Amino acid sequence: MAKLHEELIQVNNLKKYFRISRKSVLKAVDDVSFSIKKGETLGLVGESGCGKSTCGRTVVGLYDATGGSVLYEGKDVHRLKKDEKLQFKKNAQYIFQDPYASLDPRMTIGDIIGEGMDVHQMHSNEKERTARIHELLELVGLNPEHAVRYPHELSGGQRQRVGIARALAVEPEFIVCDEPISALDVSIQAQIVNLLIELQENLDLTYLFISHDLSMVKHISNRVAVMYLGVIVELASSEELYKNALHPYTKALMSAIPVPDPDVESSRERIILPGDVPSPINPPPGCKFQGRCKYAMPICKEKTPELVDQGDGHFVSCYLHNK
């Protein structure tokens, strides 16, 4: 991993609500705070519908924030002036989950990669543009010949490599990787993750890596934040979280990670959570996990626990630990 420097991204009490009807509001991201250092990968994990992707999109400004702030090098990305916003869009890029839906089927691969370069006027002539596109294709493990093809002529893994090349084309510092491997074959997933790690080391990139694949998140992340129903319930270094999970929800997630040793796997205890995830339109009062937690206490139903540092940067939002 690259050497970590000062904070690049600071997310403070971020909220993103969607109005469903006159009386109903969906609280997709509800008071989330974290920071990402330069050269670091922060993994953001949780089950489907917990608000991971909404959080990522709000961080880079694809969605407007309902409340809170996202500071990029000290400036709030949701309050930037026009010229500052254009520069931020160059510095912060997004790799989408679905490589089939995120590429325009009417554009060639070369034009898809070159579009951002055109917007930011990063070439002086067509020859320079073409050379840069070929260079980017080779950087992500494709051939220059792919530049004249269309997305439907490529496999899922190749399309995701194009998505990565498109993100790299404008020379960003920060990339949100929104479940970039979930739509791919298992045999291809490790290749894409290893490519992202290699690119980070060579280009000094900073990642927010969103996924529900806990084993892959451990492989790529310096730190991991666990999200449940729009809030972060635990945040720690990757090694610490996988060795010493504190929140009951995190422990349940960890118990679901398969172990390649049959003897160890057969002796492990799976933690089965009762009930279903509550509706984000009408979440329970207090701790949002209290309805599924066997350790729930009366205070859990009254007041939301704060995310408290238990030492060495291991934060947890749970009254079991907030003495």
Domains parsed from the chain with CATH numbers: 7-316 (3.40.50.300)
Q: Where are the beta strands (DSSP E) in the chain?
A: 7-19, 25-37, 41-45, 67-72, 75-76, 92-95, 174-178, 206-211, 223-228, 231-237, 308-309, 315-316
- Could you report the per-residue pLDDT of 262-295, keeping only the tens digit for each? 766 666 777 888 878 888 888 888 999 999 999 9
Q: Which of 115, 139, 280, 137 is nearest to 196 (CA)?
A: 139
Rounded mean pLDDT, 154-164: 95
pLDDT of residue 34: 96
Q: CA neighbours within 13 Å on the CB side: how many for 159? A: 23
pLDDT tens digit string along 169-194?
999 999 999 999 888 888 899 899 99
Kindly give, in sequence order, each residue whose CB lies less than 8 Å from that of residue 214, ignoring residues fewer than 6 positions away: 45, 253, 254, 256, 257
Pairing relationship of beta strands 25-37 and 7-19 according to DSSP bridges: antiparallel
Total-model pTM: 0.92
Residue with tokens 């109005």: 19
Q: In the sheet that 7-19 helps form, which strands lie side by side, from edge to edge?
A: 25-37, 7-19, 67-72, 75-76
